[in-house]
Amino acid sequence: MMSKLQTAIEVHSLLVNAVTFKRQVTGNLSSEAYTVRKKELEEAGLLISSDDELRKVEFSLPMEQDSPFFINLAELLEAPTRQRSAPKEFYIADIKYRHPQDQDRAPRAVAQYINAAKFVTVLTGLADHSDRDKAIFLHGSKLEIKLHYGEADLKALDGLQEFIRDFVDADIHKEQKKTIIKSVLFEMLKAHEIEKLTVPCLLQRFGDFRDRVGSNYQLYVSEFSFEKIREQVEKEKFEFTIKLNKSFSDIQNQLLAVPVALVIVGSQMKSETELTLSNAAIWLGSIVFAIFMSLLIRNQRETVKAIKAELDSQWKSIKSKHLLVGEKLEVHYSQLKNRYWLQSFFLAVVDFVIALSVAGSSLMLLYNSGQFGKFDQVFSIGRLAGLVYFLITLGWIGAKYATSRRKQAS
């Protein structure tokens, strides 16, 4: 003997001029099918009335809890109990879908409903209290999640099976995972600035919910919390930004002396027909000034490189310790790296400006000495300046090496 659901499905598929009103269906059957199908409806207890002359039958659609017959998906979703868990077996007439027999070819909306029902089952299972309308979570304060949703709210829940397997069914850290899921729900409520969380809201943001739970669990295993790590990274980002900014601000006052030096050179040099000692002394002073500025910039460049090395080392440590959340925190590192390149660019610009000032003062010397055509004297002066620069640089390198050796010895 066929089940009520099977009988209703077969008779409904054979009806001509079928009319459905509430949970009753009326229609005509062919002469070959009428007698047999009428008897089957009677045996199943579904037949309401019949007209042998017109071969017309009227029967009720089965509504057993585990095997109901629905005209469409919207009718299936009318009952809150079916929103919380899908029936073991059901049939949807307008798309000719029977569950679970046709599960491999389930339309997208049906597959989304089945996943949504599983997700709601998970929520009610994790809740401290639940009824047909809401799930209540207690985690320092109370959070209510409205469980009602409709066909328009259904979404693809990518990764739901893996989420259930890893965070609901798995025995390891079961209570801790439950606490993590609760904390994520409270975080989402706060982050999205909405008064209440609902199932449609969670279906829409399931990917974010799943990733947050995964990240927090990974950090729990590492004995950290995501919020704590993020606060630490933001604090260190602030400190690194201050260091990078300070590397440039430390020499800003000295930079003001560059245009002043050019003004002094231009105003103090006197126009002569040959190279004079006073003009050469003024020019040599500007060269010494440029050398010291160059050494200062080089020192600042080394400082910036050291900050960058420290930053890279710290970021490598974060990525190795927290693999699952590294990408979420990478934006902070990218901003600092951009800041590093900007500071390096500023120092390069300053270096170029100083080089221009040296060239400018040299041109002023030649102009005021009438020496544009005497390249041998120009080269002699250049060699002298180069020798002075080399000796100062050599002394700076020697001092730096001695300092490094002392640090190693200590």
Report domain 4-60's class: alpha beta
pTM: 0.55
Q: What local confidence, expressed as pLDDT, does residue 328 receive?
A: 64
Q: What local confidence, expressed as pLDDT, does residue 162 receive?
A: 92
Q: What local confidence, expressed as pLDDT, does residue 24 receive?
A: 92
Tokens describing residue 261:
């030096």
* Residue 136 contacts residue 144 (beta carbons within 8 Å): yes
- Please identify every stretch of the chain with a pLDDT value under 50, giving residue numbers as ranges: none
pLDDT per residue as tens digits for the range 36-73: 999 999 998 999 999 998 999 999 999 877 779 999 99
Domain spans of the chain, in order of start: 4-60, 111-221, 226-409
* Residue 25 contacts residue 15 (beta carbons within 8 Å): yes
